[in-house]
Amino acid sequence: MSPPAEKPVLQQIRDLLPRAASPSLVFPPAKFAVVDGSVLLEEERFELFGHGFFYPIKIGDVYDGRFQVLGNLALEPRRPSGWLATSSTEHTYVALKIFARDTRAGDDKMAENEFAMYEIVRKGKRSHPGYHHVPKALELFKLEGPGGGIHWCLVQKPMASRLLGESLLKGVIRHVLLALDYLHTECKLVHTDIKLDNILFKLPKQEGTATRVLDEFAQNEMKSPSPGKIVNGMPVYRTRLLGAVRDTGRTVLSDLGAAVPGDVKRTEQAQPDIYRAPEIWDMVEGRHLFKGHDPERNGYSTHAHLAEVVALLGPPPLDLLKKGRRSRDFFTADGQWQAGIEIPDMTLENSIKEIGGEKKASLLAFVKGMLQWRPEDRKTAAQLLEGPWLIGEYGIARR
């Protein structure tokens, strides 16, 4: 492959000179189509919305003197993913994550804590192959709410989502494991919230297809404003889906909002109930391995979830039970199940529906490397990268 043509000297000089801020887009005066008050929009479904803790974002407004909001961005239907905006100083598109103002103890530090995690990631070892599979934060700034209080805003590069066919699946899982190996070994962080929503794809450098998709988003908003309504004096908009991006960049494991230091001992629950390991199951099977449905409670319970784990793995070893503060809530002194709910009739082998034959056996061995009672018995991300199922018939090297 021939090297890229060198830019003319004058163009190189221009690139080094500071550029004037881009002018803001002028949105047409046309009002958005009003959504009926009985219809809940995506933002209204969040618990904190009804408490008045959300910032009243208005499409077309400019925040911090630089960022003009173009729309309520969704990478998947009906799943808000932040706000797409332009940066007048960087002359590019950005994604804004605006935090709710929460009065609960400690929650006012959520944005700062998340930004601190991104800073740890940014300052890590760039030569590690997982470095580029974890997104970085561009900056963090404050917005003062109309009723007082501070709303933090995290600025990142826009990303995309795409369907994962079988041909892409192993490559995506490999990239996720590289990201995890980087977080675990170089940053000493645990993600704790791995799920399909947080596995995204970098857009190519903002030229060609990527720019067209983002430009189309902005143009469509100006031509046909997103439907919305006013709730308690606050504008609320229906999300707008980002157009399809055929050629995406690297897979990234996004959203470090729930990440925690891995070298600090913790006993509290770190993950959402249904996304407790192995989250990779959702990618392979398109469904959760564990449901934790308790018929008596007509919903999730730890007892039902643990019963499913016992069904797949057998009872935990006694030495592990002796370390647990709540072990006797579920097991007798000699390790027998006593949680008052039946252990379901299920096996790991029968739980795999989408893959058969030799591929199934190889996948089972891969998953069993993660599904171990003792943490020290579980394979690390680096070890999983060397697994036969992931390397497969092509002998793809780990890095």
CB atoms within 10 A of CB 278: 19
Give me the residue label for tokens 């830019």: 7
The pLDDT value given to residue 12? 43
The pLDDT value given to residue 251? 92
CB of 71 within 8 A of CB of 225? no
N-term to C-term CA, the chain: 22
Give the span between the Cα atoms of 282 and 272, in whole angstroms: 14
The pLDDT value given to residue 271? 61
The pLDDT value given to residue 278? 53
The pLDDT value given to residue 183? 97
The pLDDT value given to residue 267? 66
The pLDDT value given to residue 15? 54
Nearest 5°: the CA angle 112, 114, 120 is 105
pTM of the entire predicted model: 0.85
Q: Which residues are the active-site residues? A: 193
Mark 142-178 as b/e (b = at least 16 C-beta within 10 Å): ebebeeebebbbbbbbbbbbbebeeeeebebbbbbbb
- Token output for 330: 């579920």
CB of 186 within 8 A of CB of 128? yes
Fold category of 38-261 in CATH: Transferase(Phosphotransferase); domain 1 (1.10.510)
Question: Considering Cα of 276, then 277, then 283, then 287, what sign does the dihedral take?
Answer: negative
Question: Considering Cα of 225, then 227, then 230, then 235, what sign does the dihedral take?
Answer: negative
* Max Cα distance, the chain (Å): 79
The pLDDT value given to residue 3? 45
Q: Can you give the three-state secondary structure of the chain, one letter per residue?
A: CCCCCCCCHHHHHHHHCCCCCCCCCCCCCCCCCECCCCCCCHHHHCHHHHHCCCCCCCCCCEECCCEEEEEEEEEECCEEEEEEEEECCCCEEEEEEECCCCCCCCHHHHHHHHHHHHHHHHCCCCCCCCHHHCCCCCEEEEEECCCCCEEEEEEECCEECCCCCHHHHHHHHHHHHHHHHHHHHHCCEECCCCCHHHEEEECCCCCCHHHHHHHHHHHHHHHCCCCEEEECCEEEECCEECCCCCCCCCEEECCCCCCEECCCCCCCCCCCHHHCCCCHHHHHHCCCCCCCEECCCCEECHHHHHHHHHHHHCCCCHHHHCCCCCHHHHECCCCCECCCCCCCCCCHHHHCCCCCHHHHHHHHHHHHCCCCCCHHHCCCHHHHCCCHHHHHHHCCCCC
Give the span between the Cα atoms of 257 and 74, in whole angstroms: 18
Give the span between the Cα atoms of 362 and 389, in whole angstroms: 5
The pLDDT value given to residue 75? 80
Give the span between the Cα atoms of 128 and 179, in whole angstroms: 9
pLDDT by residue for the chain (399 residues), tens only, comes to: 444 445 443 344 345 445 677 788 877 776 778 888 889 888 888 877 777 788 999 999 999 999 999 999 988 766 678 899 999 999 899 999 999 876 554 455 788 889 999 999 999 999 999 999 999 999 999 999 887 788 999 999 999 887 666 667 888 899 999 999 999 999 999 998 888 888 999 887 655 556 788 999 999 999 999 999 999 888 999 999 888 777 677 899 999 988 989 888 766 666 655 555 555 677 777 778 888 889 888 888 989 999 999 999 999 999 999 999 899 999 999 999 999 999 999 998 888 887 778 888 888 899 899 999 999 999 999 999 998 888 874 444 444
Domain spans of the chain, in order of start: 38-261
Give the span between the Cα atoms of 150 and 55, in whole angstroms: 9
